Structure 1
Amino acid sequence: MWPSPRKLCGTRLSLLPLSHGHAAQLAQATLAEPHLPEGCRLPVRHDMQGEISYLLERQADGKALTYVVQASTAQLLGWTGFSAIDRAHKKLEVGNTWLATKDDGLFTEMMVMLLTYGFDIAKANTIQFRAHADNAAHRSRLTALGAQLDGILRGDQIDRTGAPQDISIYSLLRTEWAKTNAQLLAQLQ
């Protein structure tokens, strides 16, 4: 499997491969307010086992890789990972992220861990992100990570009301990673 699940350790949090054993704590994390990124889709608390089963099936099929986010206090804060994996083009998409905190530093550290794993361990050529085009706060977070706007897919998704939603696509390239990583690590100091 590319990339393969493994524990990723940071300064204030760890990313652990998702399992059904995380369900109860993750259900609790959905009750916390606020969440990052703004407007993220929270999993259905009363069907956390079903949510986890779906993500693990995608992982078993090699389509995704999901991590739970664990604070240094051992509290689970949410999940993140690679929501789309393209082996042929060595491309990963970070997505399906929710974090039960408003701490920008934790969000940045979590993203640095994923990007480091994606570029340095999995050797991805490109890592992409998606954001609702009208979500200025999330788009600003992606820009702060060093991601570049590639374009906007008009009417790409349907929202809860049935209205078409524009989606912004951002990316980082492996050739940009060394410089971007140094800047992000300096922010975290």
Structure 2
Amino acid sequence: MAAGRLDPITLTGRLVRLEPLSPDHLDGLVEASEDGQMYDRWYTSIASPDDMAADVQHRLDLQASGFMLPFTTIRQSDGAVLGGTTFYDIQLDVPRVSIGYTWNRASAHGTGSNPESKLLLMTYAFETLGVECVRYETSWMNTQSQAAIERLGARRDGVLRADKRERTGALRDTVVYSVLAHEWPSVKNGLEHRLRHR
């Protein structure tokens, strides 16, 4: 089949816990988006506080269609909602998944929450689902996201010019990265090393 459906699952690390997205997370997601006004960056797709309920429902609709498995990122130390991430474009015939639609509250940047989230997701993708490829995509204008993806150990595959529309209506160039199954042991070691110092 061209696409597939992944069952919701909770992935637990030392710093963060990835829970299946739920309407119960709405208040925490609104609070997280207000931390640093993450929604006010035109090159991201983070919903504003007023639009967050619709965004949660949209992601749950995409989950029902089999396109996406969305998670809410929870800080282990105090249970605070940090943001969200997803598996999307689930292609079980390859098999391949993409990881993206990721954001964390501004005050959590640099704390290890993002690399641990990616470690949890990629471990599940490669070691449980048995995928051959995990893909990442970001806007050409989002240099912070590009740097973060490169620090994960993903390799840059190329740039898709005029790939889609930003929420402003501007055409977006999309930078594509990937990690392949044979690269995963080295990438995993690098992430675990980074996290040992958090």
What's the RMSD between the two structures over aligned residues? 1.9
Number of equivalences: 188
**What is the aligned partner in structure 2 of residue 26 from structure 1?**
29
Rounded to whole Å, the distance in 1 between the matches of 2:155 and 2:194 is: 18
For structure 1, the residue ranges without an aligned partner over 5 or more in a row are none
Q: Please tell me whether the aligned partners of residues 78 and 98 of structure 1 are also in contact (alpha carbons under 8 angstroms).
A: yes
Deviation digits for residues 96-152 of structure 1, max 9, x if unmatched?
A: 111012225111111111111111111111110001123222111111111111110
Within 5 Å, give how 1:97-176 maps onto structure 2: 97-100=102-105, 101-176=108-183
- Secondary structure of the residue that 1:30 maps to in structure 2? helix
Rounded to whole Å, the distance in 2 between the matches of 1:55 and 1:108 is: 22
**What is the aligned partner in structure 1 of residue 47 from structure 2?**
43
Rounded to whole Å, the distance in 2 between the matches of 1:33 and 1:162 is: 24
Rounded to whole Å, the distance in 1 between the matches of 2:111 and 2:182 is: 25
Structure 1 residue 15 corresponds to structure 2 residue 22: no
| Stretch moving more, 48-57 or 174-183 | 48-57
- The alpha-carbon distance between structure 1 residues 96 and 78, as it changes in their structure 2 partners (threshold 3 A), is same
Rounded to whole Å, the distance in 2 between the matches of 1:58 and 1:108 is: 25
Structure 1 residue 53 corresponds to structure 2 residue 60: no
Rounded to whole Å, the distance in 1 between the matches of 2:61 and 2:182 is: 32
Q: Please tell me whether the aligned partners of residues 89 and 98 of structure 2 are also in contact (alpha carbons under 8 angstroms).
A: yes
Structure 1 residue 187 corresponds to structure 2 residue 191: no
Rounded to whole Å, the distance in 2 between the matches of 1:136 and 1:47 is: 25
Deviation digits for residues 17-49 of structure 1, max 9, x if unmatched?
A: 0111111111111100165xx853212312322
The CA deviation at 1:52 is 1.3
Deviation digits for residues 40-77 of structure 1, max 9, x if unmatched?
A: 32123123222111111111111100000000210101
Letter in 1 for 2:97: L
The CA deviation at 1:160 is 4.2
Runs of 4+ deviating beyond 4 Å = none
Rounded to whole Å, the distance in 2 between the matches of 1:156 and 1:81 is: 20
- The alpha-carbon distance between structure 1 residues 47 and 158, as it changes in their structure 2 partners (threshold 3 A), is closer
Given the two structures, how large is their TM-score scaled by the length of structure 2?
0.88
- Secondary structure of the residue that 1:29 maps to in structure 2? helix
Letter in 2 for 1:24: D
| Stretch moving more, 9-18 or 116-125 | 116-125
Q: Please tell me whether the aligned partners of residues 91 and 124 of structure 1 are also in contact (alpha carbons under 8 angstroms).
A: yes
Q: Please tell me whether the aligned partners of residues 3 and 122 of structure 1 are also in contact (alpha carbons under 8 angstroms).
A: no
- Secondary structure of the residue that 1:96 maps to in structure 2? strand
Rounded to whole Å, the distance in 2 between the matches of 1:139 and 1:53 is: 28
Rounded to whole Å, the distance in 1 between the matches of 2:10 and 2:60 is: 16
